Structure 1
Amino acid sequence: MTLVCGGTLNPSLHTRGRRSAAKRLVKLGMTVIGGLDAKATAVFRDAVRLANGLELPGAVTVRTVGFDVSDLAARSGLSTDAMGRLLTDETLTSMDDERILAAGTRQRRRTSRCA
């Protein structure tokens, strides 16, 4: 199995977290291909072509996309984290105004550290 991340693997994680995730994927038998040249430019029935011209054959291709955080909360003067995500409580209610609810998922805070 090959994971093509087309940039940085888990860019929202700290460097140690990204390194830990990459090691775990390799331990599970995956090949991880990242970097700017690792963007898929064409998907065929039996292969994926990358920006650097490399074609990866495969019986099954699963394509996913990432997303960017909107700057609406920050522009509105609401409290955000370092990535610009609205700060909420466990019900996704804004920490600044109980009339404002966030849409999406809340990332759990972790107390453990990555090696």
Structure 2
Amino acid sequence: MTLVCGGTLGPYLHTRGRRSAAKRLVKLGMTVIDGLDAKATALSRDAVRLANGLELPGAVTVRTVGFDVPDLAARSGLSTDAMGRASDERLTSMEDERILAAGTRQRRRTRRCA
């Protein structure tokens, strides 16, 4: 099985966490493809083509979606954390408890199962 990350594996994780996750996936028998060229640019019935031209043949492709934090909060002047989030786990602004902030922007990802 091959995991195409569409960029960085676990971008929200600390570097050590990403390294640990990658090692665990490899231990489970997966091939992990990440980095700048790890983006699917074309899908066919039996293959996925990456930005670097590499084709990954396989019988099944599972396409998943990740989420990004929109930059609206940062642009509005609200305080945000390192990920750009303006709210805590209760969806309350870290700056003013009268402000509720929630929302994500979808990102598409493709996983290729060989």
**TM-score class, shorter:** 0.7 to 0.9
Higher strand share: 2
SS of alignment partner, residue 36 of structure 1: coil
CA-atom RMSD in angstroms: 7.5
Matches within 5 A, 1:1-115: 1-85=1-85, 88-104=87-103
Instruction: Decide whether aligned partners of structure 1 residues 40 and 78 sit closer, same or farther in structure 2, where only a CA change above 3 A counts.
Output: same
Task: Return the offset for 1:101.
Answer: 1.7
SS of alignment partner, residue 62 of structure 2: coil
Task: Return the offset for 1:105.
Answer: 8.3
Contact (CA 8 Å) 2:67, 2:107: kept in 1 or not? no
In terms of Rg, which structure is larger? Answer: 1
Instruction: State the 4+ residue runs in structure 1 displaced beyond 3 angstroms.
Output: 65-68, 104-115
Aligned residues: 113
Q: Deviations over 1:4-48 (max 9, x none)?
A: 113221122111011011011111111001122222111111111
Instruction: Decide whether aligned partners of structure 1 residues 42 and 72 sit closer, same or farther in structure 2, where only a CA change above 3 A counts.
Output: same
Task: Return the offset for 1:110.
Answer: 25
Q: Which runs of 5+ in 2 are unaligned?
A: none
Instruction: Decide whether aligned partners of structure 1 residues 50 and 62 sit closer, same or farther in structure 2, where only a CA change above 3 A counts.
Output: same
Q: Give the whole-Å Cα distance in 2 for the aligned partners of 1:89 and 1:14.
A: 19
- Give me the TM-score of the superposition, normalised by structure 2: 0.76
SS of alignment partner, residue 42 of structure 2: strand
Instruction: Decide whether aligned partners of structure 1 residues 33 and 41 sit closer, same or farther in structure 2, where only a CA change above 3 A counts.
Output: same
Instruction: Decide whether aligned partners of structure 1 residues 12 and 76 sit closer, same or farther in structure 2, where only a CA change above 3 A counts.
Output: same
Moved more, 46-55 or 20-29: 46-55
Task: Return the offset for 1:59.
Answer: 1.5
Instruction: Decide whether aligned partners of structure 1 residues 111 and 29 sit closer, same or farther in structure 2, where only a CA change above 3 A counts.
Output: closer
- Give me the TM-score of the superposition, normalised by structure 1: 0.75
Task: Return the offset for 1:94.
Answer: 1.6
